[in-house]
Every structure is written in C-alpha cells, then in structure tokens.
Amino acid sequence: MNARPLAPITDEQVDTFWRDGATCVRGLFGNEWIEHMREAVEDDLANPGPLAREYAKGGGRFLGDIGAWAVKPGLRKFVEESPAAEIAARLLKSHKVNFLYDQLFVKEPGTAAITPWHQDGPYWPVRGDQILSIWFALDDVTVESSGVEYLKGSHRWGKEYRPVSFAGDTEMYKMLPGDTLPDIEAMRGQFEVMNWDMKAGDCLIHHCMTVHGAPGNASSTRRRRAYATRWTGDDVVYAPRDGQAAITIDKPGIEPGQPIDCAVFPRLWPR
Ligand SMILES: O=C(O)CCC(=O)C(=O)O
C-alpha cells in the first residue's frame, strides 16, 4: 500500500489551506487505502472503541468513534503507514508532525442529525497554530449526503468559541471559556460558505480554528463514512483545560506547556 502521497501537495494547495482555512484535495488516497479503511470502519461499527458515541437524534445513525486507532489495528495501520503524516507536514510547513487523535464520522442514509457549526481547537488539549485535520471521504459525498461546509477565512477571526456537544447536551462544555457561536444558519448569507462534491479518496484538510459543520444525510441510499485524523506541527504544546472531553483512551502523561511528544501523541514525521 502507498506510504508516499500519490501526488505531491502543491505550493498552491498549501497557500489555499493557510489563506482559506480549508481546502479539498482530490484523489489523495487510492483504492487500496479506501478499501482498507472501509473494512476497518465496518469492524469498528460492529465493535466500537471505548470512546465511541452515537450522536443521532431522530431517524438514522450518526456514530463518532474517538481515539480508536489505539485499539484497532486497521485504523492504526492507516495512522502509522499511510501518507497522511507526510501530507500534514507539508501543509503545516512543519519539520516534525505528531499525531493527535482520530475520529470516525459515519452518517447512515436518512440520518437527520446535523453536525453543529463549531471550531475544533477549543475541544482539544493543545495550543498552537500548526494544527490540522485530514477528513478522508470513504464514500462519494455532496452537501445532500452531509458534506462538511466551512466558513472561509474563519480560522483568522481571532475568536475562540465554546465547544458544542454534537449530541445536543447543553451541560457538557459549560466550564470552557469562549462565547457561544452565533446562529450561523440564520446568518449564512453573510459568510462565504465553502463545500465540495467529493469522490471517495478525496480529502478535506482544515485548520483547527476554521468554523465548520454539516447537514444531515438526506440521501436515502448513500452512506457517508469519513475518517478524520488530526495532526500537529512544530509550534504545538500541551494545554489541557478543565471541562474538555477525552480525545485519547490513555492519558498522555506530559506537562502543560511542553511539546506533545509522547506515546499517546507519537511523532510520526519524519519517519
Ligand atoms: O464529519 C462530520 O460530520 C464532522 C467532521 C468534523 O467536524 C471534523 O472532522 O472536525
């Protein structure tokens, strides 16, 4: 299976990521990785990891497994052996890359549950600018089948919003600082909203402060399986906050303010 990117990330893609806060990179992973990950995801759905959650309200199924790479060999293989770490290093313009954690997002056909608008950074126990996610589409996806949408340039608003619970639990992140994100849907016309029609193997790459969300999966036939991996670069330090939910099964055992190198957040680039 390919350990190197199928095609190099171009300077233009790097610039777009930093300017807009998100970009879609076509054909980043080939059939072998797509098939490998589809199998790994089915295994996870049949036997979810200890931090798995069901977010769905109403009909359908919206499952989000968190940190499962630590206990699932199929997911771990992707994290450790796929080109993802090298791709992250290139986009982050970083000499080294650590793996933060993984998150599986499956919205089955007819799942009404939206993914609420949010920024990722406030959920995570790290601080820094060189933090991104690679959202690997395992199915063809459009906005109708719950493609992720981004507010262009929102990573540079200089605002940190309090996390929201995907399951609608209003108590969950109460202790964390930050304003409540405004009602983006009501104000949608004021923003430049970015979304893409994607093929399996295409990836969304987004900065940790970019505001994003997704509608429900209105398709009656098409699944929407995606595997997000989160990567950090040179400037990132450990910065946990009271009230954050666990993103890893094991505790990292490092001190606040320190670089995050440890077994829980392994340095995976350079190899
Ligand atoms: O796939 C989704 O619905 C949410 C994705 C997301 O919020 C993320 O990867 O940060």
User: Where residue 40 sits, what CATH number does that domain have?
Assistant: 2.60.120.620
Contacts (Cβ under 8 Å, ≥6 apart) of 11: none
Q: How confident is the model at residue 201 (pLDDT cuts 50, 70, 90)?
A: very high
The bridge status of strand 203-207 relative to strand 237-238 is: unpaired
Q: Is residue 1 part of a domain?
A: no
Q: Is residue 36 part of a domain?
A: yes
pLDDT in tens, 173-200: 999 999 999 999 999 999 999 999 999 9
101 lines ligand 1 (CB under 6 A): no
Number of domain units in the chain: 1
Cβ-contact 204, 135 below 8 angstroms: yes
Q: Is residue 35 part of a domain?
A: yes
Q: Is residue 182 part of a domain?
A: yes
Range name among 8-17, 41-50, 54-63, 247-256 with the lowest pLDDT average? 54-63
Return the best residue to mutate from 148, 181, 230 for the ligand 1 pocket (most ligand atoms within 8 A of CB). 148
Q: Is residue 82 part of a domain?
A: yes
Q: Is residue 164 part of a domain?
A: yes
Locate all alpha helices (DSSP H) within 4-134, ordered by sequence.
11-20, 31-46, 73-81, 84-92
pLDDT value at residue 6: 79
**What domain range is 53 assigned to?**
11-269
Q: Is residue 137 part of a domain?
A: yes
Which atom of ligand 1 sits closest to the CA of residue 204?
9
What is the spatial distance between Cα 121 and Cα 128, in angstroms, rounded to a whole number? 9
pLDDT in tens, 210-269: 999 999 999 999 999 999 999 999 999 999 999 999 999 999 999 999 999 999 999 999
What is the spatial distance between Cα 230 and Cα 128, in angstroms, rounded to a whole number? 13
In which region does residue 83 sit, left (phi positive, over 0), alpha (psi from -120 to 50) or beta (all else)?
alpha
Mean pLDDT of the 161-166 span: 95
Tell me, what DSSP letter sits at residue 222?
Answer: -
Tell me, what DSSP letter sits at residue 42?
Answer: H
Q: Is residue 262 part of a domain?
A: yes
106 lines ligand 1 (CB under 6 A): no
120 lines ligand 1 (CB under 6 A): yes
